[in-house]
Amino acid sequence: DSTLVNCDGKGWKNLNDIDFPPKVITLTLNNNNLKFDMITDRAKIENLLSLTDLSINQNPLGTIPSFNHTNIRFLSLQDTSLTSAEFPSSYRGSLLQTISLSNNKIRSINEEDFVILRGSQLRKLHIDSSSISKIDQNAFTPLMQLQALSLKNNQLKSCEFISNLGSLSSIKLDGNQFTSLSQQLSTPRNIKTYSITHNSISTIDESSPLHQWLNMNYTNIKIFLANNTFNCCSSLWFIRFIKTYPQFVGDASLLTCTTPSNFAGKLLTKLNPDEMNCDGDIPNKSWWTTGRIIGIVVGSVSIVMIGIIVIIRVGAYIRRHSLRSGYEPISGNDEQYSDIDSLLSDRHTLPILEDDDELSTNTNINSTRSVARSDAPTHTTAEGIYATDGSVVGDSQIQEAVLIPRSD
């Protein structure tokens, strides 16, 4: 079939000696060494008036080739070392309907990149895996007929450009760096399909565009969210949403929790938000209000102070009992000492030992009072022995001091 010509992997550096069938419709020149920087090479393509599909992937182009006045409708320039998505002026008024610039190093898409294609019939644009981290808000504005946009596997974190794509019906943002659903998705216009799988979306709550879709009765929209990093404790609203309105999420049955650990790997559709124990989960940033922070600090200080007071009191209690630990209670009958004051008041006063001679003259030597034996210490004088109170050594009765004559 001369309408389909495959010239892949020929190692061609130019097309000087190459003649293509004049009625070729689909031509593939993939995996060669073509640059199309020579007019003669470009002329070989421009002279193929029936050509509508051209694929020159895996060639070291560097820039988009300047083909003039062609009927090409499908152009694939994948993996061709492109660093810019800017189309040269030769494409003004082109008939292009599908363009693929994937697997390049474009990095950013600027406002002027597609200006030449203004008013074109371009409906599908693929710029996947091209290290894109920035897209000007008005970059796609000239593409008024664009219906499908694929920006998979780039480094995008936002999608402000969507608001200027009035005819867009499908957008693919899989494999980027989104951490939440952009607010630009709230007013989808004609968009029917969003694919944002394999991103880093952790929380979907009432502030998300999904809530707006519900309120505005957008029942013909589907979003695909598989392989995101959902924190199920901060996405309780979303879990209720997909269980109640599963028609909005095309892959609802595939969504799983990433955090917290006690829910990791569990299907969102199998969870019951009213029975989930999320008390042990670390609150998200919105939880840390000023009032809560102050409350936590004051509470922590109070707990520390109470702990210090308890430690001090326990220490004092232990020290008091340690000091008393060497003492034992005195055993015996204490009744005999219960009236000690009256007993002492009836006793004779002990003489003051200032002069033994005076003591002997003031004491009745012939006293007939009986004296109990005592081991108490005594004092020897010239006239006799002075006996002290027997209670000093624990005698059973309290004795009076008397002067016992010495027998010489």
pLDDT tier, 29 (very low <50, low <70, confident <90, very high otherwise): very high
pLDDT tier, 310 (very low <50, low <70, confident <90, very high otherwise): confident
Range of the domain at 359: 345-405
The amino acid that residue 175 corresponds to is G
Give burial (CB, 10 Å; 0-12/13-18/19+) of 407.
exposed
Mean pLDDT along residues 346-365: 44
In a domain, 131, yes or no: no
Q: Are residues 184 and 275 in the same domain?
A: yes
Q: How many domains is the chain partitioned into structurally?
A: 2
In a domain, 367, yes or no: yes
Domain boundary among 279, 299, 319: 279
In a domain, 55, yes or no: no
Query: What percent of the chain stands above pLDDT 70?
Result: 75
What local confidence, expressed as pLDDT, does residue 301 receive? 81
Question: For 40-93, what is each residue's pLDDT tens digit?
Answer: 999 999 999 999 999 999 999 999 999 998 899 999 999 999 999 999 999 999
Give burial (CB, 10 Å; 0-12/13-18/19+) of 289.
exposed
Mean pLDDT along residues 382-405: 45
What local confidence, expressed as pLDDT, does residue 334 receive? 52
Range with the lowest mean pLDDT among 168-172, 247-251, 276-280? 276-280
Integer Cα distance of 72 and 54 in angstroms: 7
What local confidence, expressed as pLDDT, does residue 289 receive? 58
In a domain, 82, yes or no: no
In a domain, 216, yes or no: yes
Integer Cα distance of 194 and 197 in angstroms: 9
Domain boundary among 279, 301, 330: 279
- The rounded mean pLDDT for the chain is 83
Strand partners, 27: 5, 54
Better-scored residue on pLDDT, 344 or 63: 63
Integer Cα distance of 175 and 228 in angstroms: 10
What local confidence, expressed as pLDDT, does residue 386 receive? 45
Q: Give just the sign of the alpha carbon dihedral 241, 244, 249, 253.
A: positive
pLDDT tier, 380 (very low <50, low <70, confident <90, very high otherwise): very low
Centroid of chain to Cα 222: 29
pLDDT above 50: residue 170: yes
Domain boundary among 261, 279, 297: 279
Range with the lowest mean pLDDT among 9-18, 170-179, 308-317, 334-343? 334-343
In a domain, 35, yes or no: no
pLDDT above 90: residue 406: no
Q: Give just the sign of the alpha carbon dihedral 32, 33, 34, 35.
A: positive
Integer Cα distance of 378 and 368 in angstroms: 20
In a domain, 243, yes or no: yes
> Between β-strands 384-387 and 378-380, what pairing exists: parallel, antiparallel or unpaired?
antiparallel
Mean pLDDT along residues 357-385: 44
Integer Cα distance of 135 and 226 in angstroms: 24
In a domain, 218, yes or no: yes
Better-scored residue on pLDDT, 244 or 336: 244
Query: Domain holding 246: CATH number?
Result: 3.80.10.10
Q: Give just the sign of the alpha carbon dihedral 57, 61, 66, 67.
A: negative
